[in-house]
Chains A and B, each alone.
Chain A
Amino acid sequence: QSVLTQPPSVSGAPGQRVTISCTASISNNGAVYDVHWYQQLPGKAPKLLIYGDTNRPSGVPDRFSGSKSGTSASLAITGLQAEDEADYYCQSYDSNLSGPVFGGGTKLTVL
């Protein structure tokens, strides 16, 4: 079981705001590490969306934003568009694994 828990699915209508949560389990020794987010469009490779909890790489629209409070991080998408329909993964560090760990992924459906 991943140390990072995401909801399996979220949905929203075009133009709406949705959030995807990513909660670190206490098995990660209670430590809080940077959280990063990736978007995976159907049939494509993942793409970095947010790094270091809140930072957007160049080229990522400001409709995408990240936040973190304690052991929970969130990805917010405003002004939802049909092209945002994808799987979204959070990623952090697992001290037990001594390596990167991904959340289980959240499928975003644009209604």
Chain B
Amino acid sequence: EVQLLESGGGLVQPGGSLRLSCAASEFTFSTYAMSWVRQAPGKGLEWVSSIGTSGIGTYYTDSVKGRFTISRDNSKNTLFLQMNSLRGDDTAVYYCARQYCTSTSCYLYFDYWGQGTLVTVSS
């Protein structure tokens, strides 16, 4: 069974930084594009960032461009999200999600999700 386990969330002051991790197991991590999706308390889902299989292609929603950096370590089956200059509206549960991929293409939907890690930005 595919497993995605996020960690690194917590309480941080506005302007601070956090690094989220997502440990993947039970699938060949290096052959799947990965994403982060967040959900503010009581709100809907919002895509944050995606990364291609090799880590070369990275994509961000406008509100986090220049502040967040997505990366991956395929040797350690781990996805990361470095979050800097955090703001109150970044408060959310952050989910790691696997994009569906075949042997030739990856698609923009998510077939497996982690349980999420809560990030709270507050003074």
Contacts and interface: CB of A to CB of B under 8 A. Distances in A.
B27 interface: no
Contacts of A34: 107, 109
B123 to A, nearest CB: 27
Given A46-B95, A105-B45, A100 B108 contact: yes
A45 B61 CA distance: 21
Contact of A104 (B37, B44, B50): B44
Most chain B CB within 10 A, of A44, A46, A93, is at A46
Nearest to A47: B113
Interface of A: 2, 34, 36, 38, 40, 44-48, 51-52, 57, 89, 91, 93, 97-105
Contacts of A103: 44
B62 interface: yes
A93 B61 CA distance: 12
A46 B4 CA distance: 13
Contacts of A52: 109
B89 interface: no
Contacts of A46: 37, 45, 95, 110, 113
B108 A93 contact: yes
Interface residues of B, number: 23
A97 B62 contact: yes
Most chain A CB within 10 A, of B35, B45, B100, is at B45
Nearest to B97: A46
B114 interface: yes
Contacts of A2: 44
A52 B107 CA distance: 10
Contacts of A36: 109-110
B109 A99 contact: no
Nearest to B60: A99
B33 to A, nearest CB: 11
Contacts of B54: none
Contact of B116 (A45, A47, A57, A98): A45
Contacts of B62: 97
Interface in B49-77: 50, 59-62
